């Protein structure tokens, strides 16, 4: 209605690879990682300005107060805080956001972004969004692909059709490749990382959702129709729990013929693991990163993060040592699987209160 783009901050992630910092009560988007603001604050601030209207946020019901307080601390009043009664992945969350927006402005644009990612070049992000806006207004579902900086095997990739247009038709989605395949993708400008950033008209997106994921779309739409609304809070009804727990990619985007991709170089990181935080952080001469009280001797490539007790490391390398809220985690820094195994071990020990 204003012609401005409405950002939708997707804040339903648990961030378990950053445990014990990231926990159910306060996942990683509510913490400061590599900056002066929490990740959700930084996300909201980067999608503010002339292009954008007030943001919507989709989050777990227990986090509504955290969202409101953290955004208020940086001077942002959300258009709506849409709360999920249970996590159902990004497919249902995206449809719910689109259905809510469609009630007032079905032809406006929504920009879906994860609330727990980092972007170093905000100007480049805004330029990419502006470049994709015309195609989105014409009915395309625009995906922002990140130009790869390394042969990363942990990300999905998007292959763009041949051409020189700023928005190119999506030719294929490729799941996480092996190292040799990822190396080929980095060398081929047709391929970008799928960072989970999308822009579309609610009307166009809902048409595709209804056609391609009817059960998911019906449950999410019913949850919006039956939502309890109090001020800016939109509490989705229990119908939401009937939606298949499926990502937006596999539920809709990989099936639609309306997807286009904008390749962008915006300094993006999902900060998805302790190794990613180490990579982003300033390092000592020995390659160590120490946040909080820590002392190192004869170490190399270690990450130390403590919220209180002093951590002393000597004669070790490439470790992540995280002390947070009474829990100490020690794992190989680059082994995200070790963190997942630690979380499962805690769960198996019946210590759910630590998660």
Residue 85: alpha-carbon gap to chain centroid = 19
pLDDT, residue 2, reads: 58
DSSP per-residue string spanning 28-79 = GGGSBSSSSSBHHHHHHHHT-STTB-PPEEEEEGGGHHHHHHHHHTTT---S
| Structural domains of the chain, ranges and CATH numbers in brackets | 6-269 (3.90.550.10), 274-354 (no CATH)
Sorted by sequence, the CB contacts under 8 Å of residue 344 that are 6+ apart come out as: none
Q: Is the pLDDT assigned to residue 1 strictly greater than 50?
A: no
Distance CA 24, CA 5 (A): 31
Report pLDDT for 175: 87
pTM of the model: 0.94
Percent of the chain beyond pLDDT 70?
99
The answer, yes or no, to whether residue 73 has pLDDT greater than 90, is yes
Cβ atoms < 10 Å from Cβ of 272: 18
Could you give the percent of the chain with pLDDT greater than 90?
94
For 119-153, write each residue's pLDDT tens digit: 999 999 999 999 999 999 999 999 999 999 999 99
Residue 93 has pLDDT above 90, yes or no: yes
Three-state DSSP at 230 gives strand
Mean pLDDT of 15-28: 94
The per-residue pLDDT for range 311-324, each reduced to its tens digit, is 999 999 999 999 99
- 169 closest CA partner among 147, 151, 187, 142: 142
pLDDT tops 90 at residue 3 = no
192: its two tokens: 């970008």
| Residue 229 scores a pLDDT above 80 | yes
Our CA dihedral for 42, 46, 47, 50, rounded to 10 degrees, sits at 140
Spatial separation of the C-alpha atoms in residues 275 and 17, rounded to whole Å = 10
Gyration radius from the chain CA atoms: 21
Averaged pLDDT, 178-183: 94
């Amino acid at each position: 209605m204003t012609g401005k783009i409405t950002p939708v901050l997707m804040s339903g992630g648990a961030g378990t690879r950053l445990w014990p910092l990231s926990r159910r009560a306060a996942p990683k988007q509510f913490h400061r990682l590599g900056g002066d603001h929490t990740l959700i604050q930084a996300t909201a601030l980067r999608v503010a300005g002339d292009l954008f209207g007030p943001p919507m946020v989709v989050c777990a019901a227990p986090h509504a107060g955290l969202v409101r307080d953290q955004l208020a601390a940086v001077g942002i009043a959300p258009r709506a805080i849409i709360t999920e009664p249970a996590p159902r992945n990004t497919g249902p969350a995206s449809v719910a956001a689109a259905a809510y927006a469609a009630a007032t402005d079905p032809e406006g644009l929504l920009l879906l972004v994860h609330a727990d990612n980092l972007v170093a070049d905000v100007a480049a992000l805004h330029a990419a969004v502006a470049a994709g806006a015309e195609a989105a207004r014409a009915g395309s579902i625009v995906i922002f692909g990140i130009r790869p900086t390394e042969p990363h095997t942990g990300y999905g990739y998007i292959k763009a059709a041949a051409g020189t247009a700023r928005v190119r038709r999506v030719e294929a989605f490729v799941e996480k490749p092996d190292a040799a395949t990822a190396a080929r993708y980095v060398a081929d400008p047709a391929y970008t990382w799928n960072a989970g950033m999308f822009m579309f008209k609610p009307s166009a997106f809902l048409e595709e959702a209804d056609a391609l994921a009817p059960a998911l779309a019906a449950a999410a739409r019913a949850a919006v129709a039956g939502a309890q609304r109090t001020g800016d809070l939109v509490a989705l009804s229990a119908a939401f729990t009937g939606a298949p727990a499926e990502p937006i990619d596999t539920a809709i985007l990989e099936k639609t013929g309306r997807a286009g991709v904008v390749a962008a170089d915006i300094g993006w990181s999902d900060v998805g693991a302790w190794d990613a935080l180490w990579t982003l952080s300033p390092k000592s001469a020995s390659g160590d990163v120490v946040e909080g009280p820590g002392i190192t001797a004869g170490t190399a490539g270690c990450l130390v993060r403590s919220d209180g007790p002093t951590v002393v490391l000597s004669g070790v390398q490439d470790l992540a040592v995280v002390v947070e809220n009474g829990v100490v985690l020690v794992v190989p820094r680059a082994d995200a699987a070790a963190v997942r195994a630690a979380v499962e071990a805690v769960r198996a020990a019946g210590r759910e209160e630590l998660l």
